[in-house]
């Protein structure tokens, strides 16, 4: 065989893998969308839970200095993501934003601010549950029994934020499972079609005495390479989509940390490599077991 013919054969072999890599990349892109939802779900859930607000109302016999001292002590507790003092002036401003009848209410009190100084806090994610909020309330009342008049928060909001996220997680997991099944089938078919054109090469190597492991080795290396390249392309498509959604269309904001992006790429690359290896292994075994006459 001439040098030109050998180079032509190599180019044909490489070009035959291009559709396979493109097909795997598109499948990994779809899987990446679901994985991105799962990776970003934790930060979204944490943000939603830590936006829950709890207000501490104190007895009228205690002044702002006493309440600010309690604020400093609560900041050292491990169950709060944020603790801040709310002065009567700030409280009336927040109340005015929620209720348009603030002036009428102040008129009833002859212009005096009826709202007392309070402390508001946001619980950490792990405490933003019904039982966690009960534990925080009991701990506060035990620590300051003579000072705290009431611990006020919306129990329905606590239950809703946990229930809604559980339902969303189940939905995403169901979609992810279905997509993985479809992806396995698509990648398996794509690789089997790619190896179909090389079935005579595989059988020829087997007939001249090559062992199964010797025949598989170059194809398995190519499978790893295909999985990695497809993962890079799939991740590039995913990042392009995120950029368009964040900066061009401004539909939603997708903010993943560098660690989350690395985790996402690692999962996509692992899925791509594992699926291509498994599919290649089974497809090769099929052609290695086939008789020569069955190849036609």
Q: What is the DSSP string of the chain?
A: --HHHHHHHHHHHHHHHHHHHHHHHHHHHHHHHHHHHHHHHHHHHHHHHHT--EEEEE-TTS-HHHHHHHHHHHTT-TTEEEEEEE-HHHHHHHHHHH-TTHHHHHHHTTT---PPPEEEEEE-GGG-SHHHHHHHHHHHHHHSTTTEEEEE--HHHHHHHHHHHHHHHHHHHHHHHHHHHHHHHHHHHHHHHHHHTTHHHHHHHHHTT--HHHHHHHHHHHHHHHHHHHHHHHHHHHHHHHHIIIIIS-S------HHHHHHHHHHHHHHHHHHHHHHHHHHHHHHHHS-GGGG-
Q: Which of 32, 124, 41, 117 is closest to 78 using CA atoms?
A: 124
- Quick one: CATH architecture of 53-153? 2-Layer Sandwich (3.30)
The answer to whether residues 74 and 83 touch, using CB atoms and an 8 Å cutoff, is: yes
Domain boundaries, the chain: 3-47+161-295, 53-153
Neighbours of 110 (CB within 10 A): 6
What is the spatial distance between Cα 264 and Cα 37, in angstroms, rounded to a whole number? 10
Q: Would you write out the chain's pLDDT as a tens digit for each of its 296 residues?
A: 444 434 443 444 444 567 778 878 888 888 888 778 777 666 667 777 777 888 888 887 888 888 889 989 999 998 888 898 887 666 656 555 554 544 554 444 444 545 678 888 889 888 888 888 889 999 999 999 888 888 888 777 777 666 666 666 677 777 777 877 777 777 777 777 777 767 777 777 777 777 777 778 888 888 888 889 999 998 999 888 888 877 776 555 667 778 888 888 898 899 889 888 888 888 787 777 766 555 55
């Amino acid at each position: 065989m001439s040098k030109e013919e050998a180079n032509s054969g190599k180019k044909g072999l490489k070009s035959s893998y291009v559709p396979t890599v493109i097909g795997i990349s598109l499948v990994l892109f779809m899987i990446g969308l679901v994985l991105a939802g799962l990776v970003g779900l934790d930060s979204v859930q944490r943000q939603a839970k830590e936006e829950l607000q709890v207000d501490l109302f104190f007895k009228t016999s205690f002044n702002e200095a006493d309440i600010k001292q309690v604020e400093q002590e609560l900041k050292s507790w491990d169950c709060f993501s944020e603790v801040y003092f709310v002065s009567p002036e700030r409280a009336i401003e927040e109340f005015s934003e929620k209720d348009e009848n603030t002036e009428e209410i102040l008129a009833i009190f002859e212009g005096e601010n009826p709202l007392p100084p309070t402390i508001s806090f946001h619980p950490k994610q792990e405490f933003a549950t019904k039982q966690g909020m009960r534990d925080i309330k009991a701990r506060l009342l035990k620590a300051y029994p003579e000072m705290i008049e009431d611990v006020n928060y919306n129990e329905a909001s606590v239950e809703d934020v946990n229930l809604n996220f559980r339902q969303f997680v189940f939905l995403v997991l169901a979609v992810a499972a279905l997509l993985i099944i479809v992806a396995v089938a698509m990648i398996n078919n794509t690789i089997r079609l790619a190896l179909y054109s090389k079935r005579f090469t595989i059988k020829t190597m087997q007939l001249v005495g090559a062992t199964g492991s010797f025949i598989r080795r170059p194809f398995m290396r190519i499978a790893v390479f295909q999985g990695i390249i497809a993962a890079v392309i799939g991740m590039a498509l995913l990042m392009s989509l995120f950029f368009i959604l964040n900066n061009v269309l401004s539909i939603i904001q997708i903010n993943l940390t560098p660690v989350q992006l690395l985790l996402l790429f690692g999962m996509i690359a692992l899925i791509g490599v594992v699926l291509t290896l498994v599919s290649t292994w089974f497809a090769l075994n099929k052609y290695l077991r086939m008789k020569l006459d069955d190849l036609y």
